[in-house]
Chains A and B, each alone.
Chain A
């Protein structure tokens, strides 16, 4: 249970498990999609889902303290820091690009977290760690979706296929929403970790489908496969989310259709 301002959120899966799952899942997905050829580009989308899951859990932890600004701000700063780190990492790093991007994302996140606690005096004990986590999650989401769109993280490909075409803006907003929306949509006294994280997977699947649509026009990536797998993940996650909503609600009743004019008269 966690509502805004009530202290650290707890629940089900331990936070360290999710960090491992997000970080390793995303990096393995990104590298596999890069090296295994065009049919494997959907693995970039799977990697993005892993990092979105991690980002949503970090947002959930830090936002439970009450940021005073609403949850969306933290999702947007995640992708703001992420886009700087991702572009920098891929531009200078070559084959080590995603790893360099992760390191620099952690540095920006640590810096912003430290400033928030020391200069702005926000007084959230987990702020420094959370900002670093959110920044890395944003970075990996951007790289994962880029790889799903163009099939490689070579900077020349990403630049022509994702950045110059403007699809980076789609990644920015869709990825940001996927990270911020799960907690924003589920917060309240009855917030449960599994329901929030299921929402994260479902939102991640939607971004994966979007990446698949973009991939359809790129020779290096397989659009159809990304879309089909994305739709399958979305369906499974949404069904589970609906089940969890029914589990957590006091009762679910059908209201029927609105009465027509004759019945009202």
Chain B
């Protein structure tokens, strides 16, 4: 049997910062313009797939870039920055290519039905929303919001990974990387699904009225991630 209390006390900082990483992931999902199935038919603003797929795509890219950076340096700032940049590039590319297919393929104008004017460009929105739809594509504000979300998610994922990796243990490097990354992926998915239940599957970005609901998801993620973090720290710290 392993020394549970000892492993926990030695790594209490890791538990707290892994929890913070989970909360950041949960918050980040609220920024990403997720349109779900309606957006896939260009009948709602956002990218045409579910929260979890988007968060996983961007977040896992962030994890990979963070892990690569961790191979060459121990500096937490560089690891977090690398994670953020990786996730931001991934979500930007996803949104850009989605935008091309909506504009040149479907042939509709990027517009939001939630606001009358784009908060960033001040462009009129409601005139361009097709009848019977809730907007389509990604207006500038959604695009910017998505990049912010990718960045926050990448920082959160990288933080979870970093603080799992620095836990004292006697594992060889390859096995530690394996177990830390799969724990980070597990925590990432839990924290991607909780906010997606909070927003009911779709959101346009930080200008969407649903964005104001984020404290609920953050509180839920805080509790769930704290529990997962304790388990992760005991499992890795005891080896």
* Secondary structure of the B contact surface, majority rule: helix
CA distance A73 to B196 in the complex (A): 8
Q: Which of B36, B182, B190, B220 contacts A87 (CB 8 A)?
A: B182
Most central of A72, A82, A120 by chain B CB within 10 Å:
A120
Which one of A11-19, A47-55, A107-115 is at the B interface?
A: A107-115
CA distance A88 to B238 in the complex (A): 10
Q: Which of B171, B190, B196, B216 contacts A119 (CB 8 A)?
A: B216
Say whether A81 faces chain B, with CB atoms less than 8 Å apart. yes
Interface size classification for chain A: 35 or more
A135 — nearest CB in chain B belongs to which residue? B190
Say whether A122 faces chain B, with CB atoms less than 8 Å apart. yes
Expressed in whole angstroms, the minimum distance between the Cβ of A136 and any Cβ of chain B is 15
Expressed in whole angstroms, the minimum distance between the Cβ of B200 and any Cβ of chain A is 4
Question: Across the interface, do B193 and A92 meet the contact criterion of CB distance under 8 Å?
Answer: no
**Which residues between 22 and 77 of chain A lie within 8 Å of chain B, taking CB atoms?**
67-70, 72-74, 76-77
B218 — nearest CB in chain A belongs to which residue? A119
Expressed in whole angstroms, the minimum distance between the Cβ of B52 and any Cβ of chain A is 5
Expressed in whole angstroms, the minimum distance between the Cβ of B37 and any Cβ of chain A is 7
Question: Across the interface, do B220 and A92 meet the contact criterion of CB distance under 8 Å?
Answer: no
Question: Across the interface, do B187 and A73 meet the contact criterion of CB distance under 8 Å?
Answer: no
Q: Which of B175, B186, B197, B236 contacts A122 (CB 8 A)?
A: B197
CA distance A168 to B184 in the complex (A): 13
CA distance A85 to B182 in the complex (A): 12
Say whether B120 faces chain A, with CB atoms less than 8 Å apart. no
**Which residues between 198 and 239 of chain B lie within 8 Å of chain A, taking CB atoms?**
198, 200-201, 216-217, 219-220, 223-224, 227-228, 231-232, 234-236, 238-239
Q: Which of A85, A116, A168 contacts B178 (CB 8 A)?
A: A168
Q: Which of A92, A111, A121 contacts B223 (CB 8 A)?
A: A111
Bitwise interface map of A from 102 to 140 toward B, beta carbon under 8 Å scored 1, else 0: 001001100110011001111000000000000000000
| Inter-chain contacts of A108 with B (CB < 8 A) | 190, 224, 227-228
Say whether B56 faces chain A, with CB atoms less than 8 Å apart. yes
CA distance A89 to B225 in the complex (A): 17
Say whether A79 faces chain B, with CB atoms less than 8 Å apart. yes
CA distance A195 to B56 in the complex (A): 30
Q: Which of A79, A91, A116, A155 contacts B189 (CB 8 A)?
A: A79
Say whether B82 faces chain A, with CB atoms less than 8 Å apart. no
Question: Across the interface, do B232 and A84 meet the contact criterion of CB distance under 8 Å?
Answer: yes
Question: Across the interface, do A163 and B178 meet the contact criterion of CB distance under 8 Å?
Answer: yes
Question: Across the interface, do A80 and B178 meet the contact criterion of CB distance under 8 Å?
Answer: no
Question: Across the interface, do B231 and A85 meet the contact criterion of CB distance under 8 Å?
Answer: yes
Known: A76-B56, A164-B174. A116 touches B197 (CB 8 A): yes
Question: Across the interface, do A80 and B190 meet the contact criterion of CB distance under 8 Å?
Answer: yes
Which residues in A have some Cβ–Cβ distance to B below 8 Å?
Answer: 67-70, 72-74, 76-77, 79-85, 87-88, 91-92, 94, 104, 107-108, 111-112, 115-116, 119-122, 155, 159-160, 163-166, 168-169, 172
Which residues in B have some Cβ–Cβ distance to A below 8 Å?
Answer: 1-2, 4, 36-37, 50-53, 56, 171, 174-175, 177-179, 182-183, 185-190, 192-194, 196-198, 200-201, 216-217, 219-220, 223-224, 227-228, 231-232, 234-236, 238-239
Give 15 A-B pairs besides A68-B200, A83-B185, A120-B217 with Cβ atoms closer than 8 angstroms. Answer: A73-B196, A80-B189, A80-B190, A84-B186, A88-B232, A91-B235, A92-B4, A107-B227, A112-B220, A119-B220, A160-B175, A163-B175, A164-B179, A165-B178, A168-B182
